[in-house]
Chain A
Amino acid sequence: MILIPDDAVERLFSSAEKIGKACEKLGVSQWEIYATQGYGHSLDIEAGKISMASGGGDGGFGIRLVQDGRYGYAHLVDPNSASHAIEQALSIAKMSPSIEGFELPANQPASKVGGMLDKNILDLGPEDLLSQGDFVIERVTELDDRAIAVGGGIGIGAGADVIVTSNGIEDGGIHTSHGIGIHVSIDEDDDLTSSYEGESSRQMLTEITSSVDKAVHWAQVTRDKIKGGETEDCPVLMTSDGFSPLFSVVVPSAISGEKLARGESFWSGKMGQNVIAEHLSLVDDGLMEGGMSSGSRDAEGVPSMTQKIVDKGRLQGELWSTRDAAKMVQEGKVESASTTGSAVRGGHTSPPVCGCSDLILSSNSKTYSRESLVEEMENGYIVHSVMGAHTANPTSGDFSVTTSTILKVANGEIQGALSQAGFSGNMAQALSGKVILGSSKIRKGSYSTGSMHVPDVLLMDGLRINPA
């Protein structure tokens, strides 16, 4: 293997066990050591050329200690300095509130999840990546000689991570990733149009240029400008690429058990009730083969599961980590709760927190091709990307963003593009109105809140377009 040492996992196990022994020496009853080491190569694309190539790796250790329902956490890069980190975590645990019933998870058998590792990626070297970069840049100009790849990059990565706990959990493995992001612009006749597209996968991307094709397409189709009309409340067809980032800001937060219990979710108090259109379902799949946020265990070693959060429009599930569940029970916010295998973490520097894995929005009604959705919409807009998705309010579901990849539709036919428009509404309300899902390819989008699997979505109600 070129990308990652053959014994990467063994090395991490060895260091984690050493830190675990140091915990025991200091009298810690429950400890959890998470160790990670990542390696990768990447290249940057700028102004139609490869501007930089880089490689490297980093990693570290996270130590979580639990004593009498109190927990402390510390992270470090050098296992030789573990004693100091353990003492820090212990002193924090003493100041933390005691949560009755909170203990580190017991060891339970977990199913293996396939597709996390692609050996072809492990054998790639920097030159292979540079060749992919050449191919991508050539593809842009091949599709449209006015187009230029103004930015973007390609990366491959391999990561080893392990978890070892005092309760007997010992698990670890290697996962790989391959990703591309490409920003294409066409600047002609004082009109610049552009599109950014990206994709990532645990497996080698077999169609590395599909993002390029899409970026060039959207830079082209948004050149045919028409004059923006009046502000209107109207149907909007959001492509999978445009909907995914907005969905990722608003929905994962709303299905956290803790947020639902605290009244911080727009779906708080609605368990068992219809919250979205009756043909829609929402599944959090921690066992998705090749899922960017899936794995046999969650971030605290609990076996992952597939959980129906919304079934045919009705809210019936929520996500819990071990500590959140115990805390909300102790605080009397819920009668009972237990982990759903939904602990996630952003590397060794953060303790496990509750979060989504691979979140899927689906419909049991007929799904439509993009062309059919346009016909179904009759009059409205197609929005392919939004600016400011991160400014959406996950507590209320309200959003007010901007788009420059927007096409006007009248009588079921695309009329042309607006140069810019405001786009606002409430995600919860829009999903509970008339919604039709598309059948075209779903963009694989991975975000800090999990991985989103959402198709094209035609939202008929509650949205406003405000042309510039």
Chain B
Amino acid sequence: MVVATKPDLSTRNTGRILDEAIARRAIDSAITLGAEYAELRLVSETTNSVSLKDGKLERAIPGQEVGLTMRILADGAWGVHSTSDFNSIETQVESTVKLAKAVASRRPNNQSPVGLAEVPIIEDEIHWKSKKDVRDTELQTRIDLMLAIDNEAKDHKSIVSTSTGWSDEHIHTELITSEGMNRVWSFQRSLIHGMVTARNESGVVSYRMRHGGEGGLEIIEECDLGGMGENARISALRLLGAERAPSGKIPLVADRDLTGVYIHEALGHPCEADLVAAGDSCLEGRLGQQIGSDICTVVDDPTMRGGYGCYPIDDEGVDTRPKNLIVDGVLTEYLNHRETAHKYGLDPNGGARAQDGLHHPLVRMSNTVIQGGTHKDLDELIEDISFGVYACGSRGGQVDTGRGSFQFAAQEAWIIENGSLSRPVKDVSVSGMTLEILKNVDGLTKDAYLGSPGFCGKGQTVPVGDGGPLMRISEALVG
């Protein structure tokens, strides 16, 4: 068969899918052929996605996907084989070892072979149980929850269309390594989102909304969905009358969503040690240096239960923990996987993530949050700004980690004039250089928490959480 033929892929009872005897034989064979390390990681995903257009069911897609990646380290280089036909994996061992050795033979003399930092070898199963297992959710329940958004979002003559979406997944992972690691873990994620489009004689605009996190149905039920739809409607209508944003270097205040995207793009990505090792990070060689203002403390924390970027164990089987990226403005830690931890003599900190069972792990963020400061609220943050911009909601961002330049875009914004919010503006994007703008953060409100869930692309796409308090930057390039 071309595709997998194992008859039962169900992991409903947290059982195993991978045949351990086959997995062991494949791994032993790799070692016999000269590999230093070999692993098999299987991921089974039970997914459901639903979308409504103008309150009517557009599509509902249940799915069951499984993928297996074999990673082999031989002569200090990686060979990888990925497949959905996991019964054939033994036949691919020899060619994958050869591949790794072929890569190793090309390594320049001035470069070191890949090594892996030591980690505790653990055999266990960890299953994060949702309060309400999302797999038990009826399609009608999903539709009803989406309609709660839709009914509020469409309630105006200028709203020409609404769309809402749902996505949930139960992720089951099994990892077996030549070092004796044998771990199984599972967890769930749930997400609801929508978009409203408004139109009048002045033009057409859209506004997006999103709520979700690690967990089951309870994640969606805890959200004020009607309020989310109402806010989206109000924002879209406001954008219809908004003028184009000013351009130039001006003070910027960002809401939690935007603060989160800023810290994700400007700091999080350059802290990924695989980029540092590739010579593609502006933070190379800066551990221990003051890179931001002393009110900035940033944590990346996959253990922050409920956050969209949570996971119990990383995709190399390493236990997760919070990582203090910067403390009081000082760069204290990179995000690592085992390879980069070994390269830099650091502790592995559980930063290895793969998109699914068909991809190999890269260094990735999880839930990245800038900690709260001392300002009471928005009013206090803007009271001494004579002219600036308050920007809210994220349309995403991007970073050039090597140069240290970044960009992120807001959904809506207001002009700040003489310490107060005045008129709404649209099309606000902010750009800057990581090493300059982190030093310009001069105000943070006390309360910090995760903003809307997001997705991060780095060749592979993974869910992430970002957030923080309201943040003031004394000078940012707004365009």
Q: Which of the 9-residue segments A70-78, A112-120, A369-377 touches chain B? A: A70-78
Q: Identify the 10 closest CB pairs spanning chains A and B, nearest first.
A: A422-B479, A54-B80, A56-B82, A400-B429, A402-B407, A391-B409, A263-B160, A402-B431, A395-B206, A388-B407
B395–chain A nearest beta-carbon distance, Å: 4
Instruction: Knowing A393-B395, A424-B427 are in contact, say whether A194-B405 is a contact too (CB < 8 A).
Output: no
The answer to whether the Cβ of A350 comes within 8 Å of any Cβ in the partner chain is yes
Of B62, B161, B396, B478, most A-chain CB atoms within 10 Å: B62
B274–chain A nearest beta-carbon distance, Å: 8
Say yes or no: B78 contacts A53, CB within 8 Å.
yes
Of A126, A133, A193, most B-chain CB atoms within 10 Å: A126
Say yes or no: A58 contacts B248, CB within 8 Å.
no
The chain A residue with its CB closest to the CB of B6 is A78
Residues of A within 8 A of B64 (CB): 75-77, 81
The chain B residue with its CB closest to the CB of A80 is B7
The answer to whether the Cβ of B233 comes within 8 Å of any Cβ in the partner chain is no
A185 and B1 CA atoms in complex are apart in Å by 45
Say yes or no: A350 contacts B99, CB within 8 Å.
no
The answer to whether the Cβ of A440 comes within 8 Å of any Cβ in the partner chain is no
**1/0 contact string of B102-132 vs chain A (CB within 8 Å):** 1100111001000000000000000000000
Within 8 A of B (CB), among A32-88: 37, 43, 46-61, 71-81, 85, 88
A148 and B161 CA atoms in complex are apart in Å by 49
Contact of B160 among A46, A48, A183, A262 (CB under 8 A): A262
Interface size on A, residues (CB 8 A): 85
The answer to whether the Cβ of B346 comes within 8 Å of any Cβ in the partner chain is no
**1/0 contact string of A443-468 vs chain B (CB within 8 Å):** 00000000000000000000010101
Residues of A within 8 A of B78 (CB): 51-54
The answer to whether the Cβ of B280 comes within 8 Å of any Cβ in the partner chain is yes
A423 and B407 CA atoms in complex are apart in Å by 11
**1/0 contact string of A83-116 vs chain B (CB within 8 Å):** 0010010011001110000000000000000000
The answer to whether the Cβ of A414 comes within 8 Å of any Cβ in the partner chain is no
A429–chain B nearest beta-carbon distance, Å: 10
What are 15 A-B residue pairs whose CB atoms fall within 8 Å in the complex?
A15-B3, A53-B79, A54-B360, A56-B81, A75-B63, A91-B139, A92-B60, A92-B62, A95-B143, A192-B402, A192-B403, A264-B160, A395-B197, A420-B433, A424-B427
The answer to whether the Cβ of A173 comes within 8 Å of any Cβ in the partner chain is no
Say yes or no: A262 contacts B360, CB within 8 Å.
no
Say yes or no: A54 contacts B79, CB within 8 Å.
yes
The answer to whether the Cβ of A266 comes within 8 Å of any Cβ in the partner chain is yes
A341 and B278 CA atoms in complex are apart in Å by 44
Say yes or no: A263 contacts B397, CB within 8 Å.
no
A335 and B399 CA atoms in complex are apart in Å by 46
Residues of A within 8 A of B60 (CB): 72-73, 92, 95-96
A5-B2, A130-B102 known; 10 other A-B pairs, CB under 8 Å? A50-B103, A54-B79, A55-B96, A56-B358, A78-B6, A81-B9, A92-B62, A150-B278, A231-B248, A268-B199
Interface size on B, residues (CB 8 A): 88
The chain B residue with its CB closest to the CB of A5 is B2
Say yes or no: B431 contacts A55, CB within 8 Å.
no
Interface residues in chain A, defined as those with a beta carbon under 8 Å from any beta carbon in chain B? 5, 8, 11-12, 15, 37, 43, 46-61, 71-81, 85, 88, 91-92, 95-97, 126-127, 130, 133-134, 148, 150-151, 183, 185, 187, 192-194, 231, 262-266, 268, 349-351, 387-388, 390-391, 393, 395-396, 398-402, 404, 420, 422-424, 464, 466, 468
Contact of A387 among B65, B278, B431 (CB under 8 A): B431
Instruction: Knowing A78-B6, A148-B279, A388-B409 are in contact, say whether A351-B197 is a contact too (CB < 8 A).
Output: no
The answer to whether the Cβ of B35 comes within 8 Å of any Cβ in the partner chain is no
Residues of A within 8 A of B397 (CB): 388, 391
Contact of B99 among A53, A262, A422 (CB under 8 A): A53
Residues of A within 8 A of B4 (CB): 77-78
Contact of B405 among A97, A393, A404, A466 (CB under 8 A): A404
The chain A residue with its CB closest to the CB of B66 is A77
Within 8 A of A (CB), among B290-314: none
Instruction: Knowing A49-B111, A268-B204, A464-B479 are in contact, say whether A404-B400 is a contact too (CB < 8 A).
Output: yes
Residues of A within 8 A of B83 (CB): 56-58
The answer to whether the Cβ of B247 comes within 8 Å of any Cβ in the partner chain is yes
Residues of A within 8 A of B61 (CB): 73-75, 349-351
Residues of B within 8 A of A11 (CB): 1-2
The answer to whether the Cβ of B406 comes within 8 Å of any Cβ in the partner chain is yes
B66–chain A nearest beta-carbon distance, Å: 6
B82–chain A nearest beta-carbon distance, Å: 4
Contact of A422 among B206, B247, B358 (CB under 8 A): B247
